[in-house]
Structure 1
Amino acid sequence: MRFTVRRRAGAIVWDVARPARPGRLPGVGMTGFRDHGTGAAGPQVIPHPAVTLALDFGAGPLVVADAVGRERSGSLVAGLGFGPGPLWVRGAHFEAVQVRLSPLVAPALLGISPGELDGAVVSLDGLWGREAARARERLATVAAWPDRFALVGALLADRRRTRWSVDPEVARAWHRIVAGGGRVRVDGLAAEVGWSRKRLWTRFRAQIGLPPKQAAKLVRFDRAAHRLAAGGPAARVAADTGYADQAHLHRDVMTFTGLTPATMAGEPWLAVDDLAWPTTGPTHLSR
């Protein structure tokens, strides 16, 4: 599938590839991207509730830039919500496999807790060392996307470490947040898992990467963002996704993106996101 968006400065042209069937690892989803190097500025990244692994292997580097111009290139890992401030994807002629990981499985597969990432974007070389370079080299020798997806799946399966685990109480709270679309009360979650609010906040923040209330806010925002991108009226989207009113939705969208709901709805990232991660499935991974 080819995604094209035209701007005054040129056009972004990406090929998007999806696996024919889900992989064998629970809580893991993949999509492939190829940039055709038109030179246009890349899209702003819209936050979503998953840990992101981007394995870069193309002719040109994948580059992520923040609001003050700092850039990180090559293979990357980003925690939930991508940290403070907006991010943009740049680069030309890059190819990459994007992996979305449930925060419940990310520690065992990446070797780092989402809490340690603190939402930041970090180089995979710093986490995996030489193994990151070997992954890039192996992906560059494989021509077909199905084979690339299989290679990444095998790489992650080989990396799985049982010593990295999430407390059952934290996992239960995360499942409740996802199942409820972010419409949960933290006090209720703490009582449900048998912990104090403070203990839940501390353990959840350390293991998931966000406090429970912020995680619920991100899940709710994610659902609203895709509804807005599909053309839903802001007032109806706000009511259907658990916001107090349209002004409440507006504040959350501004907090996560720095954009108004109307502007965000037209962002290329959301259009390609729905192409890469179809709305027929979950917009985030609960396991």
Structure 2
Amino acid sequence: MATPPTAAAFLAALRAEGLTVVEVGRWWEHNRNHKGPWGEVHGVLIHHTVTGVNVNAVPICRNGYEGLPGPLCHGVIRRNGEVHLVGYGRTNHAGGGDPDVLQAVIDESYDERPPKPNVGNVDGVDGNAHFYGFECENAGDGKDPWPAAQLEAIEKAAAALCRLHQWGPKSVIGHLEWSDDKNDPRGFTMPSMRDRVADRLAVKEQKPPAPKPSQPAPPKPSVDLSKLVAAAKSDPARRGTPISYYGVKVVEQALVREGLLAPSLADGHFGTATVAAYAAWQRRCGYKGADADGIPGADSLKKLGARRGFTITP
């Protein structure tokens, strides 16, 4: 949840992520704000344009069409990876959607996918007020390929706004995850895109300054497996022990960077939310049933440490 930034800050965030941004007209004052306020913003919504290979979707998304005036999004992500900004403020891109999905995005509380939407454009909550929207050039038939440059641009645009607002990747959803009468985007999955966004956020977040040649690299944090398990099982006798003793905070921050735990829930206690997030990590590692109970095991913890820069001890 966040107040929308200035148009200049929005533009700067996209460019800082390495995107090629094209400004179309006076995009920063082109909106539908007379229909209602824009914000608080809660996430990023990804669409496909349903346009062919040789169609430039930018004018359509800027101007709209009969029955649906433009702008139809904030940015158009072209097949070559360029992002063309066509509006800023309320735009006609999201329409109505499921309030349960909105809450799940705000909380970043879901596992691989948000809850399946049960309402659509006509009877849903107003998404135009609460989401950034990117229309991505594609025929939308599930056969039209997505160029690598375009997928990377979608990843970068979503990550830029997550970084700007300190959101996790679960703040990024597809239109089909918002409304039960939509099917976009087709041709790639939103869980796979959220994984890409998570990796991008983690890499840039973790990038340390280069150590001086005369200095050894700092040691990796170490997590004691047995004590972490005790914390996960909520042993009452250990509640007063400092969180660094168990390494709970180290593991929680790793789960945040994986997009499995909301930053606000990384509080140093291996409670219900952290157990649920760790269970999701275990499922991502291929465990099922009782083997994905949220209680850390050596193999899953080693994999998490290898990705997120910590070691474990027995």
TM-score by length of 2: 0.26
TM-score by length of 1: 0.28
Identify the structure with bigger relative contact order (alpha carbons < 8 Å, sequence gap 6+): 1
